[in-house]
Amino acid sequence: MTTLDTGQQTAPRASFFNDPVIRGVIYQVVVAALIISFILWIIGNTAANLAAQNKTTGFDFLWRTAGFDISFSLLPWSRASYYWEAFLVGLLNTVLVAVVGIFFATILGFTIGIARLSTNFIVSSLATIYIEVIRNIPLLLQLFFWYFAVLKAMPAVRNSFELPFDSFINQRGIMIPRPIPDEQFGFVWLGLALAVIGVVVLRYWAKKRLEATGQRFPVFLTSVAILFGVTAFVFWISGASVAFEIPVLERFNFRGGLQLPPEFVALAFGLTIYTAAFIAETVRAGIQAVNHGQTEAAASLGLKDADRLRLVIVPQAMRVIIPPLTSQYLNLTKNSSLGAAIGYPELVNVFAGTSLNQTGRAIECIAIVMLVYLTFSLLTSAIMNWYNARVKLVER
Amino acid sequence: MQKAFVSIAVAASLGLGATAAQAAILDDVKAKGYIQCGVTGGVAGFSAPDSNNVWTGIEVDYCRAMAAAIFNDADAVRFTSLTSQERFTALSAGEVDVLSRTTTWTMSRDTQLGISFVGTMFYDGQGFMVRVEDGIESALDLSGAAICIESGTTTELNAADYFAANGMEFNTVVFVDQDEVVKAYEDGRCDVYTTDSSALAAERSKFANPDDHIILPEIISKEPLGPVVRAGDTQWFNIARWTYFALLEAEELGVSSANVDEQLGSDNPAIKRLLGVEGEFGAPLGLDNAWAYQIIKLVGNYAETYERNVGPDTPIGLERGLNALWRDGGIQYAPPIR
């Protein structure tokens, strides 16, 4: 005791409850205890209520016959398929619309973000108007607009718009011929793969040469020439051919070909337009965050316009852009669940909607769907964090 | 931690609400002073707000009848409009006390969802509506047609069965909300709109040109529509069931809202028992002995609510058919009150 007291004489000892260390520990223990007891109470309460409601629970329903139809499926689907197959179909449809949406939203968003910084008054004000209008209207309303307004404007099946190459647009969607490659076509894929490897090697070599001698090589044009040239040559020499299955009008609709239902088109379009507005602002902010002095410094090094942007401005802007861009990608993926409102059979519609209702397994279905979205989000963040770590400022 | 989070959120959405379900529902309802009744988002004749924003329809009248039996006040009801997808979760979570929402009685629903079907307020069957200009005469012509359907319904399953049984190509567009289903059909996204044939008639009556649409003759399923309560509370189930029987019994005995006060003096023992003049039938339900009198006085009997909401003189124009009393060639039948 005495030794302890003498040891602490340098700092006057606070009373037990005023000691910041002890306080900190007490607060943390109390908060942790509250959270744990809350979780335990919720779990116990749910279990007790489910038992009291005489509900059948469990995941066995996943192996039962679903018995309903799904209008748009990337996997073979019939009414005799199982519920877990319905889950997969919904999942793939969500992934499909999210990937397509992210791809186009990125392109559109970057274009508009850069347009907003344009010195041309008309271009920059058009970009500003686009961003302000789209960002400030709720997404669900926009989806209804794209779906119902555009659907109404489309012609009925018998009066379909005829596009070139036997494609059609009508109220049932967009129909295009389906390419059916023959057996020789494998060689073409092989040729394409070789061409890609060639391009990678070429780029590496050109970079080394630039660093060693300072001489440039027209990498982009050569790459394009290799990709197209090699593939076309293999196509010609292997005698491969592609047949086309052309959509044919039947009593109610076209049959055959590739068909994109209006629900998918409206959802992908709506998500792209909406998210692009947010991405555009992110991009503008990122570019403006790079000090103008950087441009001038790059210019004084003698870098060309394009190189200045590519080597100096964009890498620094990306550091600012990547984190908010990640959240936009996540938002787009989660927003795709609004597709249920316009009849697109994505995960929420098929699994948390129809399947949940036909089986009555609310907790099970919702838990699975939540886990899926959580996994999507964590995966997207992991990828974007990896990319962010690559482009972030290396401090020396 | 992720799993725990999921459990919290799921349990919070379902578990918390259900706490109220533990107590006797009648006591809860009496304490709050009204019945919470789950209805559709608007199916004319069944449950829909009228031009004065008052809920009307045969299913709304059923909830009003329960309120009349319990509170002697047909307006002691609040209505929650639910989608097909939400309805069972809302009922079992205690958000509504009774679900009266064009709900088909099926075995899996009755035995697996923790709910009990009270009876069949309306015998229905699934039909198909198409545009006259398409020249379709039979449901068997529908192979390959685009069909608009509401999600989470027996309709979805019946149609899949029917098309599979007849070897036809099945092609659906499924929406969560009925309004979107109808709008998509009207806008031409689908060739066919399918649901219970009564609801088809109700929707058709709302179209700009009802004559441009016909309902095909095939009825492809049995759709006994009835009110539903949570399983496990026998007293509440009995109140719900005997409210329905009282509506039928009153019609059978010729007691209506117009003559119920006269009938109090009737010599017919069956009428005396129904109106609580003789016997003690209210107390076992936890209600006043005049419970059925209140129903008939304030809401009417089954025939009155039928004629007023969906009968031949309404825009929906449905004949009684199967829904006539057993002695008139239908299958509506109530056990005796004695």
Does the structure show a pLDDT above 60 at B6?
no
DSSP 8-state secondary structure symbol assigned to residue B335? -
* B280 Cα to chain A: minimum distance (Å): 31
Q: Are A188 and A238 in contact (CB under 8 A)?
A: yes
Q: What residue type is B8 in one-letter code?
A: I
Q: What pLDDT, on the 0 to 100 scale, is given for residue A97?
A: 95
Which residues 273-312 in chain A show a CB within 8 A of chain B? none
Q: What pLDDT, on the 0 to 100 scale, is given for residue A90?
A: 93
Q: What pLDDT, on the 0 to 100 scale, is given for residue B15?
A: 44
Higher pLDDT, B273 or A307: B273
Q: What pLDDT, on the 0 to 100 scale, is given for residue B18?
A: 43
CA distance B39 to B306: 17
Q: What pLDDT, on the 0 to 100 scale, is given for residue A240?
A: 74
Range B149-153 average pLDDT: 86
CA distance B145 to B192: 7
Does the structure show a pLDDT above 90 at B303?
yes
Q: Which long-range contacts (CB under 8 A, 24 or more apart) does A108-112 make?
A: A108/A272, A108/A273, A108/A276, A108/A279, A108/A280, A109/A275, A109/A276, A109/A277, A109/A278, A109/A279, A109/A280, A109/A282, A109/A283, A109/A328, A110/A279, A110/A280, A110/A283, A111/A280, A112/A276, A112/A277, A112/A280
CA distance B188 to B182: 10
Distances (CA, A) of B42 to A239, B45, B59, B102, B202: 62, 9, 11, 11, 10
Q: What pLDDT, on the 0 to 100 scale, is given for residue A396?
A: 59
**Percent of residues, chain B, with pLDDT higher than 90:** 65
Q: What pLDDT, on the 0 to 100 scale, is given for residue A387?
A: 83
Tens-place pLDDT, residues A169-184: 888 888 888 888 777 7
Asked if A381 is an interface residue toward chain B (Cβ–Cβ < 8 A), one would say no
Range A158-176 average pLDDT: 82
- pLDDT band with cut points at 50, 70 and 90 for residue B12: very low
Average pLDDT value for chain B: 89
Strand, helix or coil for residue B219: coil
Q: Which two tokens stand for residue A264?
A: 């998918």
Q: How many CB atoms lie within 10 A of CB A113?
A: 25
Place of tokens 């069957």: B125
Instruction: Give contacts of B174 with chain A, Cβ < 8 Å.
Output: 69-71, 343, 345, 349, 353-354
Would you say the ipTM is above 0.85? no
Those residues with Cβ within 8 angstroms of residue A56's Cβ, 6 or more apart along the chain or in another chain: A360, A361, B111, B112, B113
Q: What pLDDT, on the 0 to 100 scale, is given for residue B3?
A: 44
**Region of residue A257 (phi > 0: left; psi between -120 and 50: alpha; otherwise: beta):** left
Higher pLDDT, A274 or A241: A274
Those residues with Cβ within 8 angstroms of residue A39's Cβ, 6 or more apart along the chain or in another chain: B4, B7, B8
Range A291-304 average pLDDT: 88
Name which of A38, A41, A43, A49 to mutate to probe chain B: the one with the most chain B Cβ atoms within 10 A of its Cβ. Answer: A49
Range B280-299 average pLDDT: 95
Of B10, B16, B180, the CB nearest to A363: B10
Average pLDDT value for chain A: 86
Structural domains of chain B ordered from first start? 2-123+225-328 (3.40.190.10), 126-221 (3.40.190.10)
Q: Which two tokens stand for residue A371?
A: 């886990």
Q: How many CB atoms lie within 10 A of CB B14?
A: 22
Does the structure show a pLDDT above 90 at A187?
no
* B150-169: burial string, b at 16+ Cβ within 10 Å, e else: bbbbbbbbbbbbbbeeeebe
Exposed/middle/buried for residue B46 (C-beta within 10 Å: 0-12, 13-18, 19+): buried
Q: A45–B15: do the CB atoms touch at under 8 Å?
A: yes
Tens-place pLDDT, residues A145-157: 999 888 888 888 8
Of A69, A250, A362, the CB nearest to B160: A69
Of B109, B113, B187, the CB nearest to A151: B187
Range B172-198 average pLDDT: 89
Q: Which two tokens stand for residue B142?
A: 């529908």
Q: What pLDDT, on the 0 to 100 scale, is given for residue B23?
A: 62
Tens-place pLDDT, residues B231-263: 989 999 999 999 999 999 999 999 999 999 999
Range B2-30 average pLDDT: 57
Which residues 194-253 in chain A show a CB within 8 A of chain B? 250-253
Higher pLDDT, A176 or A41: A41
Structural domains of chain A ordered from first start? 83-182+241-391 (1.10.3720.10)
Instruction: Give contacts of B85 with chain A, Cβ < 8 Å.
Output: 353, 356-357
- pLDDT band with cut points at 50, 70 and 90 for residue B119: very high
DSSP A277-324: HHHHHHHHHHHHTS-HHHHHHHHHTT--HHHIIIIIIHHHHHHHHHHH
Name which of B87, B92, B126, B143 to mutate to probe chain A: the one with the most chain A Cβ atoms within 10 A of its Cβ. Answer: B92
Asked if A375 is an interface residue toward chain B (Cβ–Cβ < 8 A), one would say no
DSSP 8-state secondary structure symbol assigned to residue A14? P
Strand, helix or coil for residue A218: coil
Q: Which two tokens stand for residue A309?
A: 């942007």
Range A322-329 average pLDDT: 89
Q: Which two tokens stand for residue A9?
A: 């004489």
Strand, helix or coil for residue B86: coil
Does the structure show a pLDDT above 90 at A109?
yes
Place of tokens 């533990």: B22
